[in-house]
Amino acid sequence: KFTKGLSTPGEHAGKSVGEHAGVIRSIVVENFMNHTHLRIDLDPHVNFIVGMNGSGKSAIVASLIAGLGEKASSTGRNTKGHASLIKHGCDSALIQIHLANEGKDAFKADEFPETVVVEHRLERAGGGGYKLSTADGSYSRKSSKREVEELCNHFNIQAANPCAVLTQEAAKKFLHQGNEDNLYAFFLQAANLHCVREDLASTRGQCEEMKVKIATAEDGMSALEEQAKQAQEEYEGAIALKKLNEKLNELTRLVGWAEVDYKEHKIASLEQEVAAIDEQSGNCEAKLEEAESTIRSLEERQRQADQQRTALCEKLNEIGAMGKEEKRRLRAAQERQRQAADRIASAENSLGQVRCELTQSEKRLERKLKDLERNQQEARAKEERAKNTLELQLAELKTSLDGHASRVDALKAQTDAANEARDNAAAVASRCSQKLNESRDELRRLQSNNSDSLSRIHPQMPQLVEAMERSSSQFRSMPVGPLGKFVKLNDNQERFSNVIETALGGDRGLGTFVVSCKEDEEILRRLAQNLHRTNAPPLASLLNVTRRPLEKRFVVGRQEKQLPDFPTVLDLVTISDDTAFNAVVDRNAETTYIFPSEDVAQQALDKWKAQSRGYGQVMGYCADTNAKKFQRKGPGGDFSGREPSYGRGRGILTRDTRLLVDQKQMELDVATEEFNRAKFSAEEKRRAAAELGSMQLAERKQLKAATESHSKVRSELQRLSATTGHDMYEQEIEQLRSDVRDCHARVQCCAAEHAAAVAASQVEEPDIAANSARTAQLKTQFESVNAAYELKKQEQDAIAGTLRRATSDRRGLMKTRDSSAHTRKQHLAAIDKLKRELVDFIPQQLARLGERVADPQKRTVQELESERDKAKKRVRKQEAKHGGRNLNELQQFAEVTARKLKEKKEDLQCCQTTLVELDQAFKARYKNWKKTCKLKGKQAAQDFNVRLSRKGHAGTLHFSHEDEKLSLEVTRNSQDTGSAATTDARNLSGGERSYTTLAFELSMWEFCETPFRVLDEFDVYMDDTYRQIAVDTLLKLCDQQQNHQFIFITPQDMHPFLREREHQPRIVRMEKVR
């Protein structure tokens, strides 16, 4: 965008004003603040720049300050660098200031005639640069900020002085909102007195620094005098040093030849020690061979004892489990027997009560019959007695019949239970037989040496791996598996093979394949279905396939373990394939712990719950049980342990097949014993079922006979009842008979319950006796095995102690042998070294010390060296007094020290004189500066009052030069009858305050001799009356100062205020840019 002046050319008040050096002819900016391109041509005398707010008027003032090399903060913007002045979206900006360069005050007129152009380029990413050129651009060269400052000093341009270039922010700081300190600072800058104050402060600092240096020099003068005195004393004491050196030379000869005697004696002593070491080494080798033989024998015994102890431990665990099961069964049978005894007691109690009621009913019936006999005929009484007798027989037969029926039912239930127990025992025996056959097959397979890890997973697994490799082209990504192929136990971890195999899922888990898609899984299962059949279950029905992406090996976190004292599954194995490793990590192998025993597992999990408050979950497996799994959940979770659902390990990960064969042999023995026990139990259950069947058959025969007798008696009773008449006595008798029959029925029920309870109790007695016998047998067996285990443990501990002692003795012998060999080698090397040293040392001593001499006092080398060191210390002590120099040097040093002392005193005297003169000059300059401040303050106060009087006001400036404060006092005109003097600008109207500020600014212009002056928004807060007075005041000042250029910036239209003037100043109208 291009903007230019829109008014009259450079004339004012009808006079032709010449352009003086340093006057601004034009300003050109590019990409500066809100201007893309702007050029303003200025009149050499008076210029008004007008425009709306936001048209970029203040940017002209900022470009003038930044273009002449001043800091960006001097523009009044809240910025620390010129980069913030670059237009948004641009990388650089350009400022050109065209200055008049004519007359006798021209700057380098031979290079820049008439006009010198100062060009400052701003870079957002760098510091920018300066150029100086002519107006037409025919000559241009790079410049520096120093040269631009030199140009400003030459023209007396003060772009950073608010009195010369007053920005809006400077006016707010110093004038509109300024306090007394800011007003005084504005006064000092306007009068150029702030530079003098800074120079005076620098001079005062230099005076203080010189005083400190003089005081330091005075303090060091005494030390220099003491040094000169010591130099003279050293010279005098150097004579005694010569005698000490003679004694030192004599001791040096004695020490030199004493070293030769010492080395010769050392050689003889070392040769004797070598002979003794050779004799000792022979004895040590014989003892070492004997110790090696003993250790090998003990290690073999320890290995055998460890295997036997392991077998006994497993047997103890097995017997303990069997004992627990037998105790459980015994407790169950005893509980059933106790319940039967309770039923027997209840039945006996009920039977007694019912029999008592029966006796009473029979007595009442008997009395009623006697009455009948007295009142009726004897025959009828006899008939009734016969009927009563038949009813009693019928009741007894009914009771007997019910007892037989209940016993038949009880025997039937017992027979069914016995048959069920027989079938269960047969099933257990069948499973034990199957387990026994599997153990035999596994043992035969291991003994045949044809078994590998893949075959141990499943007999068809090698076929599947071969088929998968042959069909590799059919897969999108080759499946990875089985996992057991890539999992290997770490060294010395064979004892954990079964528990690790169980933790990884047994043969199903280690036989898992990993595929990346469903199509590969279908191909793999189809290959498994086409494998050759074997005796084992088909692999296709057991195949476990997992789909997951084929990723790089996971980086398992190294955070702190929950149980740092126990290893995890990942700590004990090495997994060679990355995908297999990731699949194992998916099974939480890095957080599954291995515990040595169940008690240790429970203690560790309880400790973890107490420390972590139970949040989270920890699980692991025990190595001393059948790979039992333990788990603790929180908070509030209980400790739980259970057998794995997929059984114990099968030795898939075991590398040493001999240990696996021994383990399988022990498992075979255990399986054989379990099968024999199950077979014996099945036979006992079968015999018990047969006996119960015979008892049930006999009881059924008795039930049939009782049923026939009951039918006969009931028929006879019906016959007698049919021939008997009924009267009132007969009805009563019949009611009593009914009561008797009810009592008989209840007696029969109670008797049946009693008989059933007795039968149930009798049935449990054989099982209790058998269980008790088996429990006692297992207890005896456990105690026997435990005693053998303890004896084997004591034997193993004794062997281990003997082995430790033998190993310690062997280490001691080996250490003694190695130490002796090392000592012998050192002695031989030392002897050889001493001999070689003597070959060269003796001639050197002869050449250095002269003929060989002996010490008459027979002192050792150490004693002679001590004497020599003492002599050296005395020599060094004496030399320390004069720095190790000779007599001539000491004499020269004493003379130089005295001369230096004299020169230092003369220099100190000169500095003291200079300080006095400098302090006097400083006081005179400071006094003159204070005087100048007061004179210029009075001048400013007078001018301020004169300019206010043009509006009918009066004012004065109150200076406090000691406190460096300045305050304004204004008395308003007589239009306000109640007016009074005020020092607070808030008591003035907006126009009065603005005019007062302008009067203060103009009063300071008398001190500032700069080529141009700039006022930004000089008429802010003024009404038209005050604005007219301000414009007239400014133009009158311009008429008085024809040699200066003035630039006034305002958002107001100046034409109404300038229409009465004959010659209009230049008015530049800014177009709106945003």
Q: Contacts for 107-110 with beta carbons within 8 Å, 24 or more apart?
A: 107/21, 107/151, 107/154, 107/155
Find, among 367, 304, 399, the residue nearest to 745 by Cα.
399
Q: What is the pTM of this model?
A: 0.38
pLDDT in tens, 405-429: 777 777 777 777 777 777 877 877 7
Say what the pLDDT of residue 39 is: 92
Q: Is the per-residue pLDDT at 726 higher than 80? A: no
Residue with tokens 């049930």: 696
Share of the chain above pLDDT 90, in %: 4
Q: For the chain, how many residues are written?
A: 1074
* Rounded average pLDDT over 281-285: 81
CB 506 within 8 A of CB 482: no
pLDDT at 976 exceeding the cut of 50: no
Q: Are the CB atoms for 111 and 73 separated by under 8 Å? A: no
Nearest to 79 by CA among 66, 96, 90: 66
Instruction: Name, in order, each residue with C-beta under 8 angstroms of 152's C-beta and a sequence gap of 6 or more.
Output: 68, 69, 158, 159
Q: With contact defined as beta carbons under 8 Å apart, do 483 and 580 qualify?
A: yes
Instruction: Please report the pLDDT score of residue 374 as a whole number.
Output: 66
Mean pLDDT along residues 146-170 = 82
List all residues 6 or more positions away from 850 whose beta carbon is below 8 Å from its beta carbon: 253
Pairwise pLDDT comparison (569 vs 733), residue with the higher score: 569
* Residue 118 in this model has a pLDDT that exceeds 90: yes
Which residue reads 């990993």 in tokens?
514
Lowest mean pLDDT among 571-585, 983-997, 1036-1050: 983-997
With a CB cutoff of 8 Å and minimum separation 6, the contacts of 980 are 971
Rounded CA separation 401/396 (Å): 8
- Hey, which residues does 960 pair with through a beta bridge? 965
Q: How much is the pLDDT for 28?
A: 94
pLDDT of residue 17: 45
Cα R_g (the chain), whole angstroms: 64
Q: What is the pLDDT of residues 209-223, one digit of tens each?
A: 888 888 887 777 777
Per-residue model confidence as pLDDT tens digits over 234-250: 666 665 666 667 777 77
* Cα–Cα distance measured from residue 820 to residue 829, given in angstroms and rounded to the nearest whole number: 14
Q: Could you give the percent of the chain with pLDDT greater than 70? A: 82
How confident is the prediction for the chain on average, in pLDDT?
A: 77
The reported pLDDT for the residue numbered 115 is: 92
pLDDT band at 978 (very low <50, low <70, confident <90, very high): very low
Residue 11 has pLDDT above 80, yes or no: no
Query: Residue 644 CB: number of other CB atoms within 10 A?
Result: 17
Residue 27 main-chain phi, psi, to 5 deg: -130, 130
Model confidence at 251, pLDDT cuts 50, 70, 90, reads confident
Q: Is the pLDDT of residue 31 over 50?
A: yes
| C-alpha span between 197 and 791 (Å, rounded) | 107
Q: What is the pLDDT of residues 682-722, one digit of tens each?
A: 787 778 778 877 887 887 788 778 787 878 777 777 776 66
The pLDDT of residue 117 is above 90: yes
What does the pLDDT look like over 1022-1038, one tens digit per residue?
777 778 877 888 888 78
Per-residue pLDDT, 375: 64
